[in-house]
Amino acid sequence: MNYTKEQIIAYCNDFSKNTLMETLKIEYIDAGEDFLVAKMPVNPSVHQPMGLLHGGASVALAESVGSAASHFFIDPKAQEVRGIEISANHLKSIREGFVFGTAKIIHKGRSIHLWEIKITDEEGNLISLCKLTNMVLEKKRE
C-alpha cells in the first residue's frame, strides 16, 4: 500500500459523496496496511420498526468498508472490485450512538479478497460479525 493513512481516509470519504454511504452518514476514520475503519450513526434513519439498528444498515456498513479497503490492493487504472458474497451474524442490538466497521484482510489473492468486518459499538461490544468476498476484475477497455 503506497498511501498514507490520511490519503486513504480522504479518498474514501471523497468517493462516498452522493452514494448510499453518504445517505447512511458513513465516515471513514482510520486505516492501516491491512485494515480500514468507518463509523455510522445509529438513529431512527437506520432503525428497523422496533427502534433498533437495522441488520441491513449493518451489512451496508460492512460491505462499504470491505469494498473500499480492497481498492487499496488493486491497480485502479486497470482493475475494479465487485462484492460477490456477504454474510452477517447480528449478535447484539443497539438503539443509538455510533457503530464502527473494521475490515481486516483474511485473504489477498490476485482475483479474490476475503475480509472480516467487525461492527462494534462505542464501548467495543461486538454488534455484528460479517464476512465479505470481493472479486477483482480487469476493467473493460473503452
Cα–Cα distance for residue pair 41/10, rounded to 1 Å: 19
Active site residue 122: no
Number of Cβ within a 10 Å radius of residue 117 = 28
Question: Catalytic pick from 63, 80, 96, 116?
Answer: 63
Can you read off the three cell numbers belonging to residue 140?
Answer: 473493460
| 24 contacts 40 by C-beta, under 8 angstroms | yes
| 95 contacts 57 by C-beta, under 8 angstroms | no
Q: List active site positions.
A: 63
